[in-house]
Amino acid sequence: MTDDPFVTHRSLLFTVAYEMLGSAADAEDVLQESWLRWSAVDRAEVRDERAYLVRIVTRQALNQLRTMSRRRESYVGEWLPEPLLTSPDVAEDVELAESVSIAMLTVLETLGPTERAVFVLREVFDVSYDEIADAVGKTPAAVRQIAHRAKSHVAARRPRVAVDRAEQEAVVARFVAAINSGDLRGLMDVLAPDVVSVADGGGFVKGAARHPIRGADKLARYLVGGLAKLGLPFEARPTWVNGQLAIRGEVDGALAGAICFEIEGGRITRIYSIANPYKLGRMDEEAELAR
């Protein structure tokens, strides 16, 4: 046991950094830098330790976001967030699960750094406008305007349909059965006609699509054909990724990718496939997330 507030709130601080960055590796870097700054603080001057720590992490994450935006300009293919293995319990907190879903983090990528920070702190962690203003270096009035603009932006792009767990499990089970057996017809039946698939191989995965694939027929044939060309056994297994039921893909018994879905009307409307090997380091140990 420890009475260090940083350790006490570490899961919360990691979640704040991860939601702002979409990268567990970068979130850990932010926490490391934040710890160094916290260790130099005179604790007697800190009234609200949790708020103070969130402010430190937010500032470091903003610095990291600006660095990352430059780095992504040279990224090969589509960029998707780094997937996290999560326990089924995360899904029980509906708001947390939605906020860390690959679908939501992908939407947050369309916000500017300050807008993203404001949205995450306000909508996910219910931080006051005054505290957010202190963290991002804006006035409370400006933060209110940014929050309103960011919320409208996200609302126009986020998945609109809530899917209950039974439907989610049924759809994922159908996809798993079809992909494992190479059932082209079964795949087409579980995919919405206008399905969109986005893959992130980072330039490291042979055959990974560098642009979105659209349409059930085209996507089903791409998946079945691509797996047939592997020449190695492939297995898809249900797992929990970022608070959502998803798939762990293995080639010859080794982790090859995480596949997440958006579902509507009993069919898959969008697929996110993360196969960049440098993004799969958090798929073997459950992440500790908290609000």
Which pLDDT value is given to residue 2?
A: 64
Instruction: Give burial (CB, 10 Å; 0-12/13-18/19+) of 54.
Output: buried
In this model, does residue 277 exceed pLDDT 90?
yes
For residue 1, name the pLDDT band (cuts at 50, 70, 90).
low
pLDDT in tens, 236-274: 999 999 999 999 999 999 999 999 999 999 999 999 999
Percentage of the chain lying above the pLDDT 90 cut? 83
Q: What is the mean pLDDT of the chain?
A: 93
Which pLDDT value is given to residue 61?
A: 96
E strands in the chain: 191-200, 213-214, 234-241, 244-251, 254-264, 267-274
Provide the 10 A C-beta neighbour count for residue 143: 26
In this model, does residue 124 exceed pLDDT 70?
yes
Q: Which residue in 213, 244, 199 sits closest to 91, CA to CA?
A: 244
pLDDT in tens, 177-195: 999 999 999 999 999 999 9
Q: Which residue in 76, 245, 274 sits closest to 175, CA to CA?
A: 245
For the ranges 42-46, 93-97, 130-134, 205-209, the maximum mean pLDDT occurs at: 130-134
Q: Residue 24 and residue 150: Cα distance in Å, rounded?
A: 23
**HSE of 36 in the Cβ direction (CA atoms, 13 Å)?**
6
Site of tokens 């040279």: 74
Which pLDDT value is given to residue 110?
A: 93
Instruction: Give burial (CB, 10 Å; 0-12/13-18/19+) of 161.
Output: exposed
pLDDT in tens, 206-238: 888 899 999 999 999 999 999 988 889 999 999
pLDDT in tens, 135-178: 999 999 999 999 999 999 999 988 666 778 899 999 999 999 99
